[in-house]
Amino acid sequence: MILAHGIDAVDISRFRYWHKYSNIQLLHVFSLEEIDYCLQNQYKSAERFAARFAAKEAFYKAACSFGLKNISFLAFCKMVYVEKKEDNTPLIKINIYYTEISDMLHSMEITLSITHSKTLAIASIIIYK
């Protein structure tokens, strides 16, 4: 049963210069692992940052509609991160240090789908039981 759905689209050009930002600046939104992955290829960094940002925004929308309250988006960004499974499909993870969100989603499944074109990164999150 689907409990919540979130979707977000991000203009990739917003992230065009993010590869020039310091890690301190980037850590406000992304985990160190996400930063390392996005910066592996300067030519793909904007789309990678945009896709991860869209995933976090989509997850935030789904979590808020499901019952997450009183957490700002930037605080939420530090609570979650995107990684790749062995088959290269994206996976959204909750940082173990943030029990509020992990307790809320304890027995739930979360599915993430990410796609992008030359100009847009789109992410969809489904929370289900």
Category of 12 on φ-ψ map: left (φ > 0), alpha (ψ -120 to 50) or beta: alpha
Q: How confident is the model at residue 48 (pLDDT cuts 50, 70, 90)?
A: very high
Say if residues 116 and 9 touch (Cβ distance below 8 Å). no
For residue 99, pLDDT over 90 is answered with no
More confident residue, 95 or 8: 8
CATH class of 2-128: alpha beta
Map out the domains of the chain as residue ranges: 2-128
The whole-number pLDDT of residue 102 equals: 67
User: Average pLDDT for residues 68-86, to the nearest whole number?
Assistant: 89
User: Average pLDDT for residues 64-78, to the nearest whole number?
Assistant: 85
